[in-house]
Structure 1
């Protein structure tokens, strides 16, 4: 039986995990490694990729910066989240704002410190990444559509740094990146539709609030149609192994998404749409394994 003090400590740890969205960070870390193994360096021995100290430092620094980004975003959105996410907000408030800010600076410092062991260019990249996340949280997220574009760009930045590290400039990688970027951008606008009540109360000038839900849905629909283009190219023009199954299923889900989008009116409807896109993005991480189901075995042997 845990004592009251230990229970409070456990709740605070859970609160901090909730603030930094630890599950998202674990997923991004896994995605970076899988992309490195299957897409960015398919000809390198598996051991060389997995035990590459520079890749480890890049992935760790990315995780630290993303965790810090969630903290600063939570700090600025504290009042809005009380309306949009009351249950999660109450859990997040078990950790003081002062402690959150202290953790934010420590995580960013550690990220830049780790980057310094890679190269000066890595330090510049992660410093710019930290600044970009802060600027987005402080200012840009309140600007209609631009905030959504910046958010989507920041979301794929961890993959960009790994891509640059391996210097693999094949067209298929850009098509993969475009597919992911368009999905994330559509998801960001869906989140704005989902959170209109809190955004309106806190005077956030998001796309749905400035231009209305109808126009926002048209923009999302256009983004989904554009997403079908890289999905079709990855199925028909590039060798993605059995991952083509993922893109076929994604196209079916996106068509269903379009149908539900036009009928959506309530927050519950937008949550469902958000979850469809989230499912496509998360399943895409594990579907990377389908590019070559024998790759790991062959490279171990």
Structure 2
């Protein structure tokens, strides 16, 4: 169980579930010409999950000092699992993930796609060891990687099968996946800033220089509030200009995404305590899941 908690198994399940939804709820619903068969999507999921798990492990290794202050009861590295064993798991999972990524790139005939897995692995290590300590840059990088875990399905499913005849249609579906990737990016960026404000005490003690430490808790809270409003506006724009003809989708987004985002904005405006920012962080994770679940609507479009 300690190993499962170390790799953040719940988050990994969400990644796998999201990629399956894109494949079978979205792409399969329209009979789109895709590159991956059942084995291919399984390999993609395993490669993504392994590299993500490795990223979670290296993040915990570098976060031991801050976690001892912010969440002492949840520290695993150095207690339940030694740092040496955790690092060995990090190496092993990276090798498996990157190896699977190489094989998958070979299967679809796009060897250059292999570089995506290398870049993700390197960025996760760089984030944990250095970028996380820099104001906002680390938040942006990890949020891009979250969005990429969605976009990578479109890259491997659609791009290898583009022809002059189907190019326009393939790109239309790719843009839909890109919209979901951007949604995941912006929601995760807001959540990362909320978590930094929540963990400011432990981060300060560890000598980190996160956004709230660099500019102050109040200014960081103002940025958090502004970003939450931007998220509301972005989703409203998407509903009005992209899916307005689908009444069920409009109702779903109003209830499951826009309303919770407005609630989060209100809570962010008034948030002061660690507990309040923790609640905001959890709500943002819930909204991201609800947004991803909207992919199921394409099965009934």
Aligned residues: 280
Q: Would the alpha carbon gap of residues 90 and 108 (structure 1) be closer, same or farther in structure 2, given more than 3 Å must change?
A: closer
Deviation at 1:50, TM superposition (A): 8.5
Distance in 2, Cα, partners of 1:224 & 1:266? 18
Aligned with residue 51 of structure 2, among 65, 84, 108: 65
Aligned with residue 147 of structure 2, among 138, 141, 156: 156
Matched, 1:251 2:255: no
Distance in 2, Cα, partners of 1:122 & 1:100? 28
Identify which range, 129-138 or 88-97, moves more after superposition: 88-97
Deviation at 1:91, TM superposition (A): 8.1
Q: Aligned to 2:171, what secondary structure does the other structure show?
A: coil
Distance in 1, Cα, partners of 2:55 & 2:293? 24
How far does the alpha carbon of each residue in 1:103-132 deviate from its partner, in whole angstroms, 9 at most, with x for none? 111111111221222222232111111001
Distance in 2, Cα, partners of 1:152 & 1:55? 23
In the alignment, which residue of structure 2 is the partner of 1:142?
133
In the alignment, which residue of structure 2 is the partner of 1:36?
23
Matched, 1:218 2:208: no
In the alignment, which residue of structure 2 is the partner of 1:291?
298
In the alignment, which residue of structure 1 is the partner of 2:116?
125
Q: Would the alpha carbon gap of residues 94 and 194 (structure 1) be closer, same or farther in structure 2, given more than 3 Å must change?
A: same
Distance in 2, Cα, partners of 1:236 & 1:208? 34
Matched, 1:263 2:267: no
TM-score (norm 2): 0.86
Q: Aligned to 2:30, what secondary structure does the other structure show?
A: coil
Distance in 2, Cα, partners of 1:49 & 1:69? 27
Deviation at 1:236, TM superposition (A): 2.0
User: Structure 1: which 5+ residue stretches go unaligned?
Assistant: 1-13, 296-301
Distance in 2, Cα, partners of 1:40 & 1:215? 42
Query: Does the Cα contact within 8 Å between 2:58 and 2:87 map onto a contact in 1?
Result: yes
TM-score (norm 1): 0.86
Matched, 1:175 2:179: yes
The two structures, once aligned, show a CA RMSD in angstroms of: 2.2
User: Structure 2: which 5+ residue stretches go unaligned?
Assistant: 106-110, 160-169
Q: Aligned to 1:265, what secondary structure does the other structure show?
A: coil
